[in-house]
Structure 1
Amino acid sequence: MIDALTWIQKNIRAFGGNPQNVTIFGESGGGAKVLTLMDTPRAKGLFEKGIVESGATETMGETFMTSEVSRRVAELTLKNLGLDASTVEKLQTVPYADLVAAYDKALQQAGEEFKIVRPLSTEYGLMWEPVVDGSFLPEQPVRMTGSRDIPLLIGNNRTEWESFPEIMNAARSQYDNKNTWSDTEIDKKLTEKYGARKDAKKLETEMSQAWFNFARTGTPSAKGLPKWEPFTEESGAVMIFDQQPRLVHHHDDKLLELVTAARKK
Structure 2
Amino acid sequence: ILVILLILAVILVAAFLMIRNFFHRPQIAPATPSDSAVVETAKGRIRGSEENGIYQYLGVPYAQAEERFVPAVEVQEWEGILDASEVGPMSPQSSMLGMSGGGQEGTDNNCQNLNIWTPGTNDGEKRAVMVWLHGGGFSTGSANDADYNGADLSRSGDVVVVSINHRLGVSGFLDLSAYGEKYEYSANVGLTDIVSALQWIQENIESFGGDPDNVTLFGQSGGGAKVLALMTTPYAKGLFRRGIVQSGATETMGVTFTSQEASTSLTERILERLGITADHIEDIQNVSLEDLEKASEEALQETAEEYRIPAPLSDGYAMEWGPVVDGDYMPTDPVTEDSFAENGKGIDLLIGSNLNEWTMLMGGDQGELTEEETAAFAAAYPNEDVGKANKVDTLIRLPMLKIMSHKADQNDGNVYAYVFTWDESRMGAYHGAEIPFVFAHEQNGETAQKLMEQVSQAWISFAKSGVPSAEGLPVWEAYDNDKGATMILDAESSLAYGHDRELMKLLEPDMSAQF
Q: Distance in 2 between matches of 1:206 and 1:61?
A: 27
Report whether the alignment pairs 1:27 with 2:220: yes
Please say if residues 256 and 334 of structure 2, whose CA atoms lie closer than 8 Å, have aligned partners that are also in contact: no
Q: Could you say what secondary structure the match of 1:22 adopts?
A: strand
Q: Distance in 1 between matches of 2:282 and 2:478?
A: 51
Cα displacement string for residues 124-157 of structure 1 (whole angstroms, at most 9, x for unaligned residues): 2311111111111112223323214210111111
Counterpart of 1:81, as a letter, is: L
Q: Distance in 2 between matches of 1:264 and 1:110?
A: 28
Report whether the alignment pairs 1:12 with 2:260: no
Task: Give the corresponding residue for 2:359.
Answer: 162
* TM alignment of 1:112-131, pairs within 5 A: 112-131=305-324
Q: Could you say what secondary structure the match of 2:294 adopts?
A: helix
Q: Could you say what secondary structure the match of 2:351 adopts?
A: strand
Please say if residues 108 and 124 of structure 1, whose CA atoms lie closer than 8 Å, have aligned partners that are also in contact: yes
Task: Give the corresponding residue for 2:510.
Answer: 261
Q: Distance in 1 between matches of 2:254 and 2:227?
A: 18
Which of 226, 231, 238 is residue 486 of structure 2 equivalent to? Answer: 238
Task: Give the corresponding residue for 1:174.
Answer: none
Which of 32, 43, 46 is residue 239 of structure 2 equivalent to? Answer: 46
Task: Give the corresponding residue for 2:275.
Answer: 82
Please say if residues 213 and 221 of structure 1, whose CA atoms lie closer than 8 Å, have aligned partners that are also in contact: yes
Q: Distance in 2 between matches of 1:112 and 1:225?
A: 46
Report whether the alignment pairs 1:103 with 2:296: yes
1:123 Cα deviation after fit = 2.7
Which of 186, 189, 195 is residue 2 of structure 1 equivalent to? Answer: 195
Report whether the alignment pairs 1:247 with 2:443: no
Task: Give the corresponding residue for 1:215.
Answer: 463
Q: Could you say what secondary structure the match of 1:18 adopts?
A: strand
Please say if residues 240 and 246 of structure 1, whose CA atoms lie closer than 8 Å, have aligned partners that are also in contact: yes
Q: Do the aligned partners of residues 151 and 137 (structure 1) sit closer, same or farther apart at CA in structure 2, a change above 3 Å counting?
A: same
Q: Do the aligned partners of residues 216 and 202 (structure 1) sit closer, same or farther apart at CA in structure 2, a change above 3 Å counting?
A: same
Which of 145, 148, 159 is residue 341 of structure 2 equivalent to? Answer: 145
Please say if residues 504 and 512 of structure 2, whose CA atoms lie closer than 8 Å, have aligned partners that are also in contact: no
Please say if residues 457 and 469 of structure 2, whose CA atoms lie closer than 8 Å, have aligned partners that are also in contact: yes
1:256 Cα deviation after fit = 4.1
1:22 Cα deviation after fit = 0.2
Please say if residues 39 and 141 of structure 1, whose CA atoms lie closer than 8 Å, have aligned partners that are also in contact: yes
Q: Do the aligned partners of residues 262 and 238 (structure 1) sit closer, same or farther apart at CA in structure 2, a change above 3 Å counting?
A: closer
Q: Could you say what secondary structure the match of 2:354 adopts?
A: coil
Counterpart of 1:261, as a letter, is: D
Q: Distance in 2 between matches of 1:61 and 1:17?
A: 29
Q: Could you say what secondary structure the match of 2:244 adopts?
A: strand
Counterpart of 1:149, as a letter, is: G
1:165 Cα deviation after fit = 5.8
Instruction: Please say which of residues 108-117 and 70-79 is displaced more in the overlay.
Output: 108-117
Q: Could you say what secondary structure the match of 2:212 adopts?
A: coil
Q: Do the aligned partners of residues 61 and 224 (structure 1) sit closer, same or farther apart at CA in structure 2, a change above 3 Å counting?
A: closer
Whose strand proportion is higher, 1 or 2?
A: 2
TM-score, normalised via structure 1 length: 0.82
Please say if residues 31 and 54 of structure 1, whose CA atoms lie closer than 8 Å, have aligned partners that are also in contact: yes
Q: Distance in 1 between matches of 2:497 and 2:299?
A: 45
Task: Give the corresponding residue for 1:203.
Answer: 451
Please say if residues 118 and 127 of structure 1, whose CA atoms lie closer than 8 Å, have aligned partners that are also in contact: no
Cα RMSD between the aligned structures? 2.4
Q: Do the aligned partners of residues 66 and 93 (structure 1) sit closer, same or farther apart at CA in structure 2, a change above 3 Å counting?
A: same
Q: Could you say what secondary structure the match of 2:510 adopts?
A: helix
TM-score, normalised via structure 2 length: 0.44
1:121 Cα deviation after fit = 2.4
Counterpart of 2:341, as a letter, is: T
Please say if residues 505 and 512 of structure 2, whose CA atoms lie closer than 8 Å, have aligned partners that are also in contact: no
Please say if residues 324 and 330 of structure 2, whose CA atoms lie closer than 8 Å, have aligned partners that are also in contact: yes
1:120 Cα deviation after fit = 1.9
Please say if residues 249 and 255 of structure 2, whose CA atoms lie closer than 8 Å, have aligned partners that are also in contact: no
Q: Distance in 2 between matches of 1:139 and 1:209?
A: 34
Q: Could you say what secondary structure the match of 2:486 adopts?
A: strand
Please say if residues 2 and 42 of structure 1, whose CA atoms lie closer than 8 Å, have aligned partners that are also in contact: yes
Please say if residues 229 and 237 of structure 1, whose CA atoms lie closer than 8 Å, have aligned partners that are also in contact: yes
Higher relative contact order (CA 8 A, sep 6+): 1
Please say if residues 225 and 254 of structure 2, whose CA atoms lie closer than 8 Å, have aligned partners that are also in contact: no
Number of corresponding residues = 239
Cα displacement string for residues 89-120 of structure 1 (whole angstroms, at most 9, x for unaligned residues): 21112122212222222111211222222322
Q: Distance in 1 between matches of 2:325 and 2:513?
A: 21
Please say if residues 313 and 362 of structure 2, whose CA atoms lie closer than 8 Å, have aligned partners that are also in contact: no
Please say if residues 257 and 324 of structure 2, whose CA atoms lie closer than 8 Å, have aligned partners that are also in contact: yes
Cα displacement string for residues 59-103 of structure 1 (whole angstroms, at most 9, x for unaligned residues): 599552110110111111110001121221211121222122222
Q: Do the aligned partners of residues 91 and 61 (structure 1) sit closer, same or farther apart at CA in structure 2, a change above 3 Å counting?
A: closer
Q: Distance in 2 between matches of 1:120 and 1:52?
A: 20
1:24 Cα deviation after fit = 0.7
Q: Could you say what secondary structure the match of 1:74 adopts?
A: helix
Whose helix proportion is higher, 1 or 2?
A: 1
1:252 Cα deviation after fit = 2.0
